[in-house]
Structures are given as structure tokens and as C-alpha cells.
Amino acid sequence: MLKNVSIAKKINLALSSLFILILAISALSQSKQETALVLSILEQQAHEQADTYFDSLNTMMLTGSIGQRETLRHKMLENDNITDIRVVRGDKVNQLYGPGLASERIKDDFDRRALAGEEITQVISTLQGETLLITKPLIASKNYRGTDCTACHNAKEGDVLGAVRLEYSLTHFYQQVQQNILRSTAILAVVLLAGLLLTLFIIRKLILKPISELTDSMELASDTQDVTTLIEVKNQDEIGRMVTAFNYMMSNFHYSLTHVLNTAEQLEDISTKLSTASTQTYNSAHQQKQEAATINASIAIMQTQVEDIKAKASMTTAASTQATLQTDKGNALASATIDEISMLTTQLDHVVDKMHQLGEQTNNVTKILGVINSISEQTNLLALNAAIEAARAGESGRGFAVVAEEVRALAIKTNNSTKEIQTIVSLLIETSNSSFAAMDTAKVTAAEGAIKVSQLADMLNEIAREMQAINQLNDSVTESSITQQALTTDIQRNIETIALHSDETTVVATHASSISQELLNHSTELLLKVKEFKLK
């Protein structure tokens, strides 16, 4: 915001701001100091008046004229600065003498705090303005300025009998403080303004005027572009050193511009020659590029044909290779199938052996069951005979008859169980025989499948051999195509290299021509610019 403002205005603005800041700080500091001093004095006066008011009330109590205390209160209120003064009666006094006057009752929280024993000194805001509030609790004492409060009020020492409340208006005193501050501020403003004007005069005389003269001389040299302009050095202070530095700079400019003028003239001549050579180089490179493009087009057609042959050979090779892979997979699958059939046959033989062993064990079980059946029949006969003999024995053989009957019953159950087991074993033998037949059939089928799979593997091997022959032919074609393609690629690469060099030469020639032309333009422009300065 201040970039385009002159130094004089900046200095004026800075000093004016400093003047206003000093004036404001001084006024604020004085205001706070005087206000604090006045408030301290008024607090002391208010405490003294509160003590005087209570001493007067105490005297009226001792002389028996306490009934006239409201008159004393009104007398105190005739003071313009006292807005309220009263006594707040405590519970002890109310119990002895009644509630008292309306002005002596509790009205707000300040009265309650005072009766609680708190001495308050506080500035409050009222309708009349700022007011100093004083509350002093009246503590019962056996010797309060020669008076025994405890005897008259039937209280203990330390009890709060009441409180004196005084409100002192600060408006008049604050107005006086403001008037004093205004007078002091006005005097200080006059002194600071005089100092400001003197400072501005000195700055303008010693700094701004020499700087303005130096600026005028520099602007004149800039407008006329006269680098021979020098300024007279009048003083050896900072501004004098600035003028000396300006003269030294102008001398350096004169020397440098003279040298630049000579160099620019030589540069213009060289740029003209360089531009002509660049144009000739560009024309030769462009013609070489066109001839290389024609050869490259012919080679591209031949390379396309070779690429087509190679692609078809590659497709044939890929197809035969894929067929060979599929044949190899089929052959491997056939071999795996033969192996699995062999394993299946072996497992079937193992199962048959186990079933033979099962048949033998079943026959053994049948034999054992025959023996058990025979034993149970004999046991049944013996038990029957024992029962008959026990019946003949009469009463003495009755217990033996019961045992014989139980043995006979067990023999019958054993015989029945043996028959059931024989039935199950017979079924097991029939199932085993059926399994033998199925196993034999499976072995025959597996053997036939192995033969067919083996034949399939032989056919796949024959196909694989034929595919390998085809692959060899395709490889020969592909190899020939690759050789031919490599030759054409080398030729094309050489042609492309020639074309690339031609392009690079063309680009470089174009760039060189552009640069030489630009250099010629700049050298001409530089020469014109340097000639604008006055060097002689």
C-alpha cells in the first residue's frame, strides 16, 4: 500500500503515528494513575465518614437521643457526594429493640455479606453513575472506643450487631480527572507537535532535499540516456557517498556500453555469414532425406512380403507344435491309464486272495458251529435224562430237576443260535462266490482295456513322429525367412540411419538457421539499443 508513496510522506506518516501513539499512551497512563489516586483518597474519606457516622450514632445511644438518628442520616445525605448512608440492623439488635426503621433493614446481597462479617470496598454502577460502596460490620466488643457493646446489646464479644453502609458518588471526581487529563494532553500535544515540526524541518533540510536533487539528476540521465552525466559531490555524508557511487556507476556504464557497441557490430557481421551457411546446409540435407525415403519405401515392400512368409510359417509351426503337445499329452494319459489298469488288476488279485481267506475262515466257522450244535444236542439229551432221573427220585431230586431243566433250556437256545449263525455263514459264502465271479470279469475287462490303451499310445506316437517331421520343415522355412528378414532389416536400418542423420541434419540446419537469424536480429537490435545511448 505504501510502495508508491514518497519517502517524505512515509516519514511524515511514521512520525505522526509515533506522535499520536505517545500522546495516547501518556493520556491513558495519566488517566489510570489519577483515577487510582482519586479512588484511594475517596476510599479513605469514605471509611472516615462511615466511622464518623457510627461514632455519632454511638454517642446518640449513650445520650439517649437515638430516636433522632434519621435526622443525622439526612444531615449526612446533604453531602452531594454521598448517595446513601445507613445502618443495617443485625438479628441481635432486632431481637432486643425491634426491626427499626425501613432504611435499617436488609435490602440486597451486600447487606447480607456485611452482616456475615465481611468488610466490602467496591466500585459499583448505579443510575447515578459509578459509585464507591463501603460496608463495615459492627462487631460487639467490650471496649469499642471506651464503650462496652456487649452489655447494652446482650451479645457476646465478636457477634455482628449490624453494619454501616455508605455509597459515595464518583461522578464528580471522575469529571475532574477527565478535565485534568484533557488539559495535560493538550499541553503534551502542543509540545510534541512542536518537536514533530522541528524534526520534519531537519529531515527535509538534511535528507530529503539532497535525495530529491539526486533523484532529479538520475531521472534526467534516464530520460536523455546520457551515460556521460555526472553529479557534483557537495558533502561526504551518506548522501555524498551515494552520489559518488552513482558517478562511478555511470562511468562503468559508459565503458561497458562502448565495449558492447564494438562487439555488437562484429556479431552482426558473423551472424549474417552464419545464416547463409545454415541455409545451404538445410537444402543439401533435405535432398538427401528425399532420396533415402524412396529407397526405404522399396525395402519396406520387400520386408512386408518376407514378414508375411515368416508369419505363415510361424502359424504352421505353432499349429504343428500344438498338435505335438496334444499328442504328447494323449500319450502320457494313455501310459498313465495303462499304469492305473495294472494297479487295478493287482488290487483285484489282492481282493480275491482276501476273499479266499474269508471263505476258508467261513468253512472253519461252519465246522466249529457243527461241533457246537452236536454238543448242544448231547447236552439237551443229558439234561432230559437228568430230569427223568430227578423225577424218579421224588422230593429229593426236585432241586436237581430244576437245574437240569435250565441246562436243557440253555442247550436249546445254543442250538437255535447255532442254526442262525449257520444261515448267515451260508449267505456269506454265496456272496463270496458271486464276488469271485465279478472279480474275474473285472480282471478280464481291465486286461482288454490295457491292450486298447496300448494300441492308442502306439498311434499317438506315430502321429507325434509325423508332427516332428512337419516341424522340421517349418523350421527350415522360418529360418530362411528370418535370414532374409535380417538382411532386409539391416538394409532398412542403414537406410533409416541415413534418413535419421538427414533429419537430424535438417533439424540442426533449420535450428542453426533460426538461431543465426535470431542472433542477427538480436545483434541488430542490440546495436540499435546501444546507439541510443549518448557515449560521446
Per-residue pLDDT, averaged over 383-401, amounts to: 76
Per residue in 214-226, pLDDT tens?
Answer: 787 777 777 777 7
Residue pair 158/139 in contact (Cβ under 8 Å)? The answer is yes
Q: What is the pLDDT of residues 357-390, one digit of tens each?
A: 777 777 777 788 788 878 878 887 887 787 787 7
Mean pLDDT along residues 485-491:
73
Q: Given this model, what pLDDT does residue 173 score? A: 81
- Name the one residue in this structure whose C-alpha cell is 502359424: 315
Higher-confidence residue of 263 and 450: namely 263
Residue 420 has pLDDT above 70, yes or no: yes
Name which of 110-114, 149-153, 160-164, 189-193 the model is least confident about.
149-153
pLDDT for 325: 79
How far is the CA of 301 from the CAs of 65, 119, 516, in angstroms?
A: 142, 117, 41
- Residue at grid coordinates 541434419: 505
Pairing of strands 120-126, 82-89: unpaired
Cell (9 digits) for 149: 457493646
Host H or E run for residue 84: strand 82-89
State yes or no: pLDDT of 20 exceeds 70: yes
pLDDT score recorded for residue 533: 63
Backbone angles phi, psi at 488, to 5 degrees: -65, -35
pLDDT in tens, 430-465: 877 777 677 778 777 877 877 877 777 777 677 777
| Contacts with 93 (C-beta within 8 Å, 6 or more apart), sequence order | 100, 153, 161, 162
CA 12 → CA 5, 210, 211, 372, 420, distances in Å?
A: 11, 17, 16, 142, 136
Fold observed for domain 307-487: Helix Hairpins (1.10.287)
Mean pLDDT of 105-124: 89
CA-to-CA distance for 84 and 110, rounded, in angstroms? Answer: 13
Between the alpha carbon of residue 444 and those of residues 141, 213, 310, 353, 449, the distances in Å are 138, 130, 53, 17, 9
> What pLDDT does 313 receive?
64
For residue 184, the Cα-to-chain-centroid distance in whole angstroms is 60
**Overall average pLDDT of the 401-415 stretch:** 79
* Helix/strand/coil for 277: helix
Residue 113 pLDDT level (bands cut at 50, 70, 90): very high
Task: Report how far residue 129's alpha carbon sits from residue 258's, in angstroms, rounded to the nearest whole number.
Answer: 84
Enter the C-alpha cell of residue 144: 469499642
Name residue 124's beta-bridge partners. Answer: 131
Q: What is the 3-state secondary structure (H, E, C) of 312-352?
A: HHHHHHHHHHHHHHHHHHHHHHHHHHHHHHHHHHHHHHHHH
Is the pLDDT assigned to residue 285 strictly greater than 70?
Answer: no
In percent, the amount of the chain with pLDDT more than 90 equals 2
* Number of residues written out for the chain: 536
CA 25 to chain centre: 47
- Confidence band (pLDDT; 50, 70, 90) for 135? very high
Q: Which three cell numbers stand for residue 303?
A: 520386408
What is the chain's alpha carbon radius of gyration, rounded to the nearest angstrom? 68
CA angle 435, 436, 439 (to 5 degrees): 80
Among 92, 102, 98, 164, which Cα is nearest to 135's? 164
Q: Is-contact 233 244, C-beta < 8 A?
A: yes
Q: Which among 461, 21, 528 has a CA at the least distance from the CA of 260?
A: 528
CA distances from 156 to 100, 159, 261, 405 (A): 21, 6, 114, 124
Do the Cβ atoms of 534 and 225 come closer than 8 Å? yes
Could you read off the pLDDT of 348-362 as tens digits, one per residue? 677 767 777 777 777
List the beta bridge partners of residue 136.
164
Query: How confident is the model over 61-78, as a mean pLDDT?
Result: 85
At residue 213, does pLDDT exceed 70? yes
Q: How far apart are CA 200 and CA 369, in angstroms?
A: 145
- For residue 394, the 8-state DSSP code is G
Q: How far apart are CA 378 and CA 37, in angstroms?
A: 145
427 confidence band (pLDDT: 50, 70, 90): confident
Q: What pLDDT does 2 receive?
A: 61
491 — pLDDT class (breaks 50, 70, 90): low
Give the H or E element holding residue 169.
strand 160-169
Q: According to CATH, what is the number of the domain 7-190?
A: 3.30.450.20
Angle between helices 209-224 and 238-393 (to 10 degrees): 90
Q: What is the mean pLDDT of residues 56-74?
A: 85
pLDDT for 162 beyond 70:
yes
* CA proximity to 40, closest of 180, 177, 164, 181: 177
Average pLDDT value over all residues in the chain? 78
Residue (of 445, 448, 449, 447) closest to 437 by Cα position:
445
Higher pLDDT, 229 or 339: 339
Domain boundaries, the chain: 7-190, 238-274, 307-487
Contacts for 107-111 with beta carbons within 8 Å, 24 or more apart? 110/135, 110/165, 111/135, 111/163, 111/165
Average pLDDT over residues 170-179: 82
Give the residue, 212 or 190, on which the prediction is more confident: 190
pLDDT at res. 109: 92
As a whole-number percent, the residues of the chain with pLDDT over 70 amount to 88
CB within 8 Å of 320: residues ≥ 6 apart:
467, 470, 471, 474
DSSP track, 28-76: HHHHHHHHHHHHHHHHHHHHHHHHHHHHHHHHHHHHT-GGGHHHHHHHH
Predicted TM-score of the model (pTM): 0.37
